[in-house]
Structure 1
Amino acid sequence: MKTKYILAAACAALASFSPAFAGGEGWTPDFAAAKKQAAAEKKDLLMDFTGSDWCGWCIKLNDEVFKHDEFKAGVKDKFVLVELDYPQDKSKLSEETQKQNEELQGKYSIQGYPTILLCDPEGKPFAKTGYQEGGPEKYVAHLDELRAKKVTRDKSFADAEKAEGPAKAKALVAALDAMELEDEMVAAFYPTVVDQIKSSDPKDETGFGKKLAAKQKFAAFEEELNGFAAKKDHEGALAFVEKSAGEFEGDQKQQIVATKAMIYAQMGKFDEAIKAIDEAKAVAPDSEMAGQFDGFKKQLEMAKEKKAKGGDKEEEDDEKEEADQ
Structure 2
Amino acid sequence: MKATHLFAAAFAASLGFTSAFAGGEGWTHDFAAAKKQAADEKKDLLMDFTGSDWCGWCIKLNDEVFKHEPFKAGVKDKFVLVELDYPQDKSKLSEETIKQNDELQEKYAIQGFPTILLCDASGKPFARTGYQEGGPEKYVAHLDELRGKKDARDKALAEAAKAEGTAKAKALISALEGMELEDAVAANFYPEVIEQIKAADPKDETGFSKKIEEKQKFAKWESELQGFAEKQDMEGALAFVEKSAADFTGESKQKILATKAGILAQSGKFDDSLKALAEAKAAAPDSEIAPQLDNFKERIEEMKAGAADEKAGADEEKKDEAKEE
TM-score (structure 2 length as normaliser): 0.91
**5 Å matches for 1:239-254?**
239-254=239-254
> For the residues of structure 2 that align with 1:205 and 1:293, how far apart are their CA atoms?
32
RMSD value over aligned CA atoms? Answer: 2.2
Q: Give the CA deviation at 1:77.
A: 1.0
> For the residues of structure 2 that align with 1:228 and 1:14, how far apart are their CA atoms?
55
What residue identity is the alignment partner of 2:241?
V
**5 Å matches for 1:9-24?**
11=11, 19-24=19-24
> For the residues of structure 2 that align with 1:303 and 1:182, how far apart are their CA atoms?
34
Structure 1 residue ranges, 4+ long, deviating more than 6 angstroms after superposition: none
What residue identity is the alignment partner of 1:240?
F
> For the residues of structure 1 that align with 2:174 and 2:45, how far apart are their CA atoms?
23
> For the residues of structure 2 that align with 1:74 and 1:64, how far apart are their CA atoms?
15
What residue identity is the alignment partner of 1:116?
I
Match of 1:38, SS? Answer: helix
Q: Give the CA deviation at 1:322.
A: 4.4
What residue identity is the alignment partner of 1:243?
K
Change (3 A) 1:16 1:210: farther
* Residues 288-310 of structure 1: per-residue CA shift (max 9 Å, x gap): 21111222222112211221222
Match of 2:228, SS? Answer: helix
Larger deviation, residues 56-65 vs 215-224: 215-224
The residue number in structure 1 matching 2:173 is 173
> For the residues of structure 1 that align with 2:88 and 2:15, how far apart are their CA atoms?
21
Gaps of 5+ in 1: 1-7
What residue identity is the alignment partner of 1:104?
L
The residue number in structure 2 matching 1:64 is 64
What residue identity is the alignment partner of 1:147?
R
The residue number in structure 1 matching 2:90 is 90
Q: Give the CA deviation at 1:76.
A: 1.1
What residue identity is the alignment partner of 1:66?
F
The residue number in structure 2 matching 1:255 is 255
Calculate percent identity across the aligned residue pairs: 71
The residue number in structure 2 matching 1:3 is none
The residue number in structure 2 matching 1:231 is 231
What residue identity is the alignment partner of 1:54?
W
The residue number in structure 2 matching 1:300 is 300
What residue identity is the alignment partner of 2:54?
W
Match of 1:84, SS? Answer: strand
The residue number in structure 2 matching 1:4 is none
> For the residues of structure 2 that align with 1:180 and 1:15, how far apart are their CA atoms?
46
Match of 1:122, SS? Answer: coil
What residue identity is the alignment partner of 1:91?
S
Q: Give the CA deviation at 1:12.
A: 5.6
The residue number in structure 1 matching 2:222 is 222
Larger deviation, residues 172-181 vs 35-44: 172-181
The residue number in structure 2 matching 1:130 is 130
Q: Is the 8 A contact 2:160 2:169 kept in 1?
A: yes
